[in-house]
């Protein structure tokens, strides 16, 4: 039965793998773009310090580069948040919530004889 399921689902797994590879390549490209902008900013600061560019040119180019960098970081933040698994509220196998490490009775009170430190 499982062999048949694997055979039937293998095309879907292959397509999913292709899309995952495309997604990973796009993320790497986006990270590379951020590095290139940072390098351009460093070069721009050097030009200002050596007097190769004026303050007005520097301000205009810096604004453009910083705006591009902000847009890249703004789109990367939600993607990074999606990859983090959410732990709060997840149930353990069997449908029970994970233990907090304290012995409690049905009303949520700590059992007699147990010490609870409130720091």
Say if 3 falls within a structural domain: no
3-state secondary structure of 104: strand
Which pLDDT score is estimated for 18? 94
* Pairwise CA distance, residues 33 & 27, whole Å: 10
DSSP 8-state symbol, 95:
S
Q: How many CA atoms lie within 13 A of 64 on its CB side?
A: 7
Say if 67 falls within a structural domain: yes
Say if 16 falls within a structural domain: no
Say if 14 falls within a structural domain: no
pTM score over 0.85? no
* Pairwise CA distance, residues 69 & 33, whole Å: 8
Which of 66, 67, 47 has the alpha carbon at shortest distance from 57?
A: 47
Say if 37 falls within a structural domain: yes
Say if 25 falls within a structural domain: no
Say if 19 falls within a structural domain: no
Say if 72 falls within a structural domain: yes
Span 41-94, pLDDT tens digits:
999 999 999 999 899 999 999 999 999 988 888 887 666 666 655 555 555 455
Range(s) of the domain holding residue 61: 31-83
Span 25-40, pLDDT tens digits:
988 888 888 889 999 9
The total domain count for the chain is 1
């Amino acid at each position: 039965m499982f062999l048949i399921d694997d055979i039937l689902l293998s095309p879907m797994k292959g397509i999913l793998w292709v899309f995952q590879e495309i997604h990973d390549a796009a993320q790497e490209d986006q990270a590379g773009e951020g590095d290139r902008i940072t390098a351009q900013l460093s070069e721009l600061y050097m030009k200002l310090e050596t007097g190769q560019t004026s303050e007005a040119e520097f301000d205009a180019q810096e604004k453009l580069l910083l705006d591009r960098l902000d847009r890249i970081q703004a789109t990367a933040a939600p993607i990074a948040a999606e990859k983090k698994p959410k732990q709060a509220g997840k149930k353990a196998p069997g449908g029970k919530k994970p233990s907090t490490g304290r012995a409690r009775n049905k009303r949520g009170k700590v059992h007699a004889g147990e010490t609870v430190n409130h720091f």
